[in-house]
Structure 1
Amino acid sequence: MSAVTSASSAVPASQSVAGMPAVPLDPQVAALLDLIARAKRPPIHVMDVEDAKIAYEKSAPILDISPLPMHAVDDLHVCARDGHGIPVRLYAPREASWADPLPMLVYFHGGGFTVGSVNSHDALCRMQAAHADCMVLSVDYRLGPQWRFPTAANDAFDVLHWVFEEAARLGADPARIALGGDSAGGTLATACAVHARDSGLAPVLQLLIYPGTCARQDTPSHGALAEGYLLTADMIQWFFSHYLDQESSRDDWRFAPLDGGGSGADVRGCCPAWIAVAGYDPLHDEGVAYADKLRAAGVTVTLADYAGMIHDFFKMGRFVPAVAQAHADAVAALRTAFGTAQ
């Protein structure tokens, strides 16, 4: 959800504080937070929303890895239920055909349902395509405040159906389609996994990178990590103020699959999940809780807990060497789901 345009000084970890990790912050992450704090740029949540969108787009490539070359990158449109053309970007690491189709990852970018785009997540999608040897379809779902809940979820569902219908034409294997996303995009991927189950579709994996899953942001990690680690409590509420159409929508499972309405989404029969969480992320506990919820429902889950990391760390590989291992872990999960593990 976060942008690299805001931060405050990090506070030391303490095992005695509920919600704080027991291990120290990664030293490169700590140095990065200090650099951002000393830059004294205005926090994203005090900006005009249009300025915030621009700031996020400009800042996104600064910390990310260099974009990898692709065999083909195509910008397409998917017709939404209301006639809107949803922009999507299709990455192919090599040529695919009906005789040799590639697996596909349908990816939803983060940004608190308010900022972010296929451009802000271009390097991450290229990395996944290149290293997992799969097509990646990155989705430019509609954002708040112009488009409020449930438009983003509806766009995600519409793209989901389109992908399964058009996979063969695109050179993708409809039997090897995964769903993925980071932060708010992770929320959309969780919702798509539930919707796919209800629609008789069978994705092979939900790749959830620090997903938002809870209705009220009241977990111990939200309390302990409300300030100082890039994504702040004020920022989270700013995002949701631009996304939610009304306060009661917090209890809709498409927004809060963990506990919306008390019980959240019924996740029985959903596809397997690989969930990454960061120790110094306010969203840490809800990611862990969602993994527990899936397991309790009989869903196969791998939980990867990167204890020294912060929110949005998947897009900091240029400055934080440890991010490479998280990328490799996500790629390995995709390859295992696709049946192409090396």
Structure 2
Amino acid sequence: MFLHPEAQFYLDSLPALSPQEELTFGKDIPQPAAEQSHLAKDQLIAGVPVRIYSPRTLPENELLPALIYFHGGGWSGGNPAMIDGLVRSLVSDLDIIAISVDYRLAPEHPFPAAFEDSLAVCRTVLSGETDLALDPTRVAVAGDSAGGNLAAVMAQQLKSHSPTFAHQVLVYPVSNLTDTNSPSYQKFGEGYYLTAAAMQRYIDQYAGTHDLADPRLSPAFASDLSGLAPATFVLAECDVLAHEGRAYAQALLGAGNSVTLAEFMGQLHAFLNLGTLSTDARAARRFIRAQLEAALISEESYKA
């Protein structure tokens, strides 16, 4: 399997990572000043810590669309500060409010803690019960890795809520906790940054003895996948999660949902975090940003 030259360089330059260091790979890469178009403020929504990014210049008497973002880290690491640059880049120069959720982490807080925190924030935002000048009819949910899992679950849990999400962005999401022997796990389980052993450890810490086929853990097992928000997927080819990401995208499409998928060949899990160092990361961020702009801001989104 051929790695992207940049991915190979990152892999060759990495020291042997401890389990905790695996969770923070690439998340402290400095971001360019051009991505400082939003002001950040830490507060609570429904009792859950969040970081709010608001445009520096707010339009008068106008409700803005919003993006709710869940960080990755195996449900047991990461926080909004570690993905500050990533979230900023997704809404850079757009009149979109971003909400980065600091959900509780395993193993101290196993399932359903992260699920409950995520649901509380999303339900409160969609119900218009925050002090933010946002339009609850134009809210997208997004996340990467374990955060992509939470975003997918939120889209399912709140699909009958009125209003519901206008879009979902799933970046190499965990969608099936029951299968750590998929073709991707077999091919990329060792030597491609995120190992099969590490992924199994994260699953064990988060899910414990809970039924892994519970759709709140494995969104691929939902009995009805119809009627979900249009979905944008970003996948990395050389990733243990690639197979289940493709399978979940195909399942959503088969259920009649709108699905757009971009897979970055030769890339590793977590490549999106390497914004200033990776051409693919920058391209993926621009792609997501364009998808959000089309879904939340364009004239077509108002007509939907």
CA distance in 2 between partners of 1:179 and 1:71 (Å)? 18
Deviations 1:83-142 (A, max 9, x none): xx3100100123336722221100000001000001111111111121443110000011
How far does residue 165 in structure 1 lie from its aligned partner after superposition? 2.8
1:252-280 deviation digits (Å, cap 9, x = unpaired): 10111113xxxx35221111000111100
Q: Does 1:193 align with 2:155?
A: yes
SS in 2 for 1:90: strand
CA displacement, residues 156-177 of structure 1 (integer Å, 9 cap, x when unaligned) = 1100111123367411111210
Is contact 1:65–1:123 with CA below 8 Å preserved after alignment?
Answer: yes
- Measure how far apart 1:317 and its partner are: 1.9
Q: Residue 269 of structure 1 is aligned with which of 199, 220, 227? A: 227
Say whether the 8 Å CA contact 2:122–2:154 is kept in structure 1: yes
* TM-score (ref. length: structure 1): 0.82
Match of 2:203 among 224, 240, 262: 240
Partner of 1:69: 36
The alignment's C-alpha RMSD in Å is 2.1
| Contact 2:138/2:296 (8 A) holds in 1 | yes
Alignment correspondent of 1:204? 166
- 8 Å contact 1:57–1:119 — kept in the other structure? no
2:65 is matched with which residue?
A: 103
Secondary structure of the residue aligned to 1:276 is: strand
Match for residue 43 of structure 1?
Answer: 18
CA contact (8 A) 1:213 1:258 kept: yes
Q: Deviations over 1:174-224 (max 9, x none)?
A: 121000000000001011101111333321100100000012222201111
Counterpart selection for 1:287 from 225, 238, 245: 245
Q: Contact (CA 8 Å) 2:90, 2:286: kept in 1 or not?
A: no
Alignment match, 2:118: 156
What pairs up with 1:248-267 in 2 under 5 angstroms? 248-259=210-221, 264-267=222-225
Structure 1 gap segments, 5+ residues each: 1-12, 14-23, 45-51, 80-84
Compared with structure 1, are the counterparts of its residues 133 and 306 closer, same or farther at alpha carbon in structure 2 (3 Å cutoff)? farther
Query: Displacement of 1:76 after TM fit?
Result: 0.8
Partner SS, residue 121 of structure 1 = helix
Give the distance between the partners of 1:88 and 1:168, measured in 2 at CA.
Answer: 12
User: TM-score, length-normalised on structure 2?
Assistant: 0.91
Where does the alignment leave 5 or more consecutive residues of structure 2 unmatched?
none
8 A contact 2:24–2:73 mirrored in 1: no
1:298 alignment counterpart: 256
1:327 and 1:167 map into 2 onto residues whose CA distance is: 29
The aligned residue for residue 95 of structure 2 is 133
Q: For each residue in 1:302-332, what CA deviation from the matched residue of structure 2 results, as whole angstroms up to 9, or x when unmatched?
A: 0111112110010012222222111111111
Which of 266, 269, 275 is residue 317 of structure 1 equivalent to? 275
Aligned positions, number = 298
Quick one: which amino acid aligns to residue 217 of structure 2? F
Structure 1 residue aligned with 2:75: 113
**Which amino acid is 1:293 matched to?**
A
Cα distance in 1 for residues equivalent to 2:143 and 2:69: 5
- Between the aligned partners of 1:150 and 1:219, the Cα distance in structure 2 is 25
Contact 2:140 2:168 in 1 (8 A): yes
Assess if the C-alpha contact under 8 Å between 2:264 and 2:280 holds in 1.
no
Q: Mark the CA change 1:133 to 1:218 in structure 2 (over 3 Å): closer, same or farther.
A: farther
Partner of 1:211, secondary structure, is: coil
Aligned-residue offset at 1:250 = 0.8
Cross-structure match for 2:3: 25
Match of 1:179 among 138, 141, 158: 141
Corresponding residue of 1:222: 185
* TM-aligned CA deviation for residue 59 of structure 1: 5.8
Q: What residue number does 1:94 align with?
A: 56
Contact 1:132 1:334 in 2 (8 A): no
